[in-house]
A and B are shown apart, each in its own frame.
Chain A
Amino acid sequence: MISLTAGALAANLLLVGGLVALVAVNGLGHFWQADIAALVQSDGTTLLGEIADRELDSDESGQPRERWRVAVGNRDLGGSDFRWIDASQVTGESWPSDAGVLEREEWGRFYGFPVAIRNGESVRVEGTEPVWAALPELLRENRASRAAKVDALAAEIRGLNGQIERLRREGRDTNELQVRYEEAASALSAREAELLADVLVMRTADGREKAIPLSQVVRAVRANALGARGKFALYGSRLWEFLAGEPRESNTEGGIFPAIFGTVLMVMLTSLAVAPFGVLTALYLREYARQGIVVRAVRIAVNSLAGVPSIVFGVFGLGFFVYLVGGSLDSLFFADRLPTPTFGTGGILWASLTLALLTVPVVVVATEEGLAAVPRVVREGSLALGATKFETLLRVVLPAALPGVLTGLILAMARAAGEVAPLMIVGMVKLAPSLPLDGEFPFLHLERKFMHLGFHIYDVGFQSPNIEAVRPLVFATALLLILVVLSTNLTAILVRNHLRRKYAGSAI
């Protein structure tokens, strides 16, 4: 029996550990910069790129052969980021030290050799070595002038837009602002065009030249000249971009910060909603209600809620929260914005409340168990001192039951963080234009739509045309989702253990 149970535990641990390891290995490799190889094939063409995979299989005649998957980038020229080549067809292999890879705002990576940096027609730097030497400084300069000229203007335009919207709603004249808006918009496009004038000319392995505006270059890496330290620094920088950056290229590149933020905020809002709701329900059921057939029926109903498929909750959330509650809120308080809905459409508040409903049984059950574990003599001790039932509950029973309550909350949070299906119809989106929390009054925008790691995995992994390029990103996102769930749980567990230590020896 012991070996059976121990074996089951070991198998479980192995599965979980294996899953996390698989996800980690596949995901974290994505940020590592391999050396760039120049591969000459027997038909005379040259490929420049990173060898991503080496695979053994057999050709049509059954002969074993080796195939390599090479990340060649240059999607705007070649059409696809990866190429499969036959290893036996490779006649020459070299690791050119002047080759580089550019990460771009659009079109993915570019592999090639720098030729020159031009501004319009005039050449600023020429030759591979001088360009590599001057490139970091010029990129910084370009970014700085972008920040100075464009970002401020863009912020002004956003502000004007808001003002115009407000005036329009109040039915006042917007002409004057409209004019200022037009001016700012044209100034913005002029400045953007100005920034586009600085271009980096790159030559591909097959000799074609391509001019890439400096403002499009996120990072320029001379991979083969980096050395180990440089590669680790680059790895860290890419990982940071992934964690803290905004997504680009319909989520297939850049960072996933909005999704992390959305997930964490939603879980926090969910626990804020579910904790009082669940605890009060449990208090009533266990402490106040007369134990009888009705309470038993209610308890069974609450427990069955946990078994309802989550998409049903989503549909309920859409019907009840979004359309009914949100629609009523809109017609009461935001009537001037109609027909554009404010709360009458999916948003992070409705998503959180839907998940709160989904997870409330867990909290109710755990709280009830925590309350039941507080011994009767302890309650009587309080009552015998002249405390009312309410005082006893609030000051003695509930604190003693708190570890149990938190256990329930931890389970609820884990469930909420991993749930995706119901969110798709109550406010989760592929790409949210702004975070639900920002510097604009009232700071927390509960009506906004939000991004979520779970949906991000689905979207990037299964809705992206460029599946080979994004596969590691899916793993990395999955790893991050696991980490987010783990760290929220860990925080709650630490709080609970602290409380347990404080009430050391208590029955729970």
Chain B
Amino acid sequence: MTQPAQSPELARLPEFEKAVLRVKELSLWYGATQALKEISLDIPERKITALIGPSGCGKSTLLRCINRMHDLIDGVRVEGQLLFHDRSIFDPEVDVFALRRRIGMVFQKSNPFPKSIYENVAYGCRIHGIGARSELDEIVERSLVSAGLWGEVKDRLRESALGLSGGQQQRLCIARAIAVEPEVILLDEPCSALDPIATQVIEELMRGLADRYTIVIVTHNMQQAARVSDYTAFMYLGRVIEFGETGELFVKPRVRATEDYIRGKFG
């Protein structure tokens, strides 16, 4: 297959959407290997944007750039810009810890801390200086309710989070992410290790959260992208090939590669 270049009109957001995050010609290298190639993408506010594409296409890398988790890897170099509320997050003056508070993240493998359920949710708040008991109690309850976990764990908040099931752990991680009241939540294949029922629960949860948060989700599962997202970006070999409203992209993709991928011809 030939290497398709990204054309600007394929990544444009409709006029009525407000872009919270604007990726502009972003390139990223791991050492000598280029993982992202001049990516441009606008991410709309309070919508769910799905990043799809075959393994190794750079979708997780792009996601991790958004809250600068790529900083943690040695030998990474970026070029181009990533604007959050029209300010570059690569600006050396940006407080990366404050940025990560505003852009939360949920990982592929659920990663609760080896602490109690309560402490897991309260952790972010404690880090950011909220220590008052009553306030924490309220935040923990609100976050767990939002994550749809309150009913299941309200009597065992003091027990270890590691005793929860996989789906519960993943929802706990979502509760933990929303406890610090971020604007954007990044989800990196949040359901890849879950059974269909737990997946469905998380998907419903995401739909509910979209009223309040901007959500970016990386997924391998095209049905999932079609079900939950408002916008979808198809990535291939480090580029965004096509970006558009989910219904349109899945029904009548404009690029051949997108069509091949979503019809299951490769990937």
Contacts and interface: CB of A to CB of B under 8 A. Distances in A.
Interface of A: 375, 377-378, 380-388, 391, 395-396, 399-400, 502-506
Given A382-B113, A385-B180, A387-B97, A504 B160 contact: yes
Contacts of A505: 160, 162-163
A435 B126 CA distance: 45
B109 A377 contact: yes
A386 B98 contact: yes
Contacts of B99: 386
Interface string B85-124: 0000000000001111100110101011111000000011
A381 B113 contact: yes
A384 B97 contact: no
A375 B114 CA distance: 11
The 4 A-B pairs of least Cβ separation, nearest first, read A505-B162, A386-B101, A503-B114, A384-B105
B100 A384 contact: yes
A504 B162 contact: yes
Given A384-B67, A386-B128, 6 more contacts: A382-B123, A385-B104, A386-B97, A399-B115, A400-B114, A505-B160
B160 A385 contact: no
Contacts of A387: 97, 123-124, 127
A121 to B, nearest CB: 79
Contacts of B216: none
Contacts of B180: 385-386
Contacts, number: 79
B111 A504 contact: no
Interface in B158-176: 160, 162-163, 173, 176
25 contacts: A377-B111, A378-B114, A380-B72, A380-B105, A381-B107, A381-B113, A381-B173, A382-B113, A382-B123, A382-B127, A383-B72, A383-B100, A384-B69, A384-B105, A385-B101, A385-B104, A385-B177, A386-B101, A386-B180, A395-B126, A395-B127, A400-B113, A503-B114, A503-B115, A506-B114
A396 B113 CA distance: 7
Contacts of B124: 385-387
Contacts of B126: 395
Given A383-B100, A385-B100, A378 B113 contact: yes
Contacts of B163: 504-505
Contacts of A391: 127
A395 to B, nearest CB: 7
Interface residues of B, number: 29
A378 B98 contact: no
A383 B69 contact: yes
Interface string B165-194: 000000001001100100000000000000
Interface of B: 67, 69, 72, 97-101, 104-105, 107, 109, 111-115, 123-124, 126-128, 160, 162-163, 173, 176-177, 180
Contacts of A506: 114, 162
B89 to A, nearest CB: 13
B160 A395 contact: no
A383 B72 CA distance: 9
A504 B163 CA distance: 7
Among A375, A395, A400, the one with the most B-chain Cβ atoms within 10 Å of its Cβ is A395
A377 B107 contact: yes
Given A503-B160, A503-B162, A378 B111 contact: yes
A388 B128 CA distance: 10
B112 to A, nearest CB: 8
A382 B163 CA distance: 19
B151 to A, nearest CB: 22
A387 B126 CA distance: 10
Contacts of A383: 69, 72, 100
Contacts of B97: 386-388
Contacts of B114: 378, 396, 399-400, 503, 506
Given A386-B98, A386-B101, A395-B123, A502 B160 contact: yes
B67 to A, nearest CB: 6
B181 to A, nearest CB: 11
Nearest to B71: A383
Nearest to A377: B111
A386 B113 contact: no
A291 to B, nearest CB: 10
Contacts of B177: 384-385
Contacts of B101: 385-386
Contacts of B162: 503-506
A103 to B, nearest CB: 56
B160 A380 contact: no
Contacts of A375: 111
A378 B109 CA distance: 10
Contacts of A378: 111, 113-114
A385 B176 contact: yes
Contacts of B111: 375, 377-378, 380-381
Nearest to A399: B114
A42 to B, nearest CB: 79
A377 B100 CA distance: 16
Nearest to B97: A386
Contacts of B67: 384
A396 B124 CA distance: 12
A386 B109 contact: no
B158 to A, nearest CB: 10
B131 to A, nearest CB: 13
A400 B111 CA distance: 13
Contacts of A503: 114-115, 160, 162
B49 to A, nearest CB: 18
A375 B110 CA distance: 11
A380 B173 contact: no
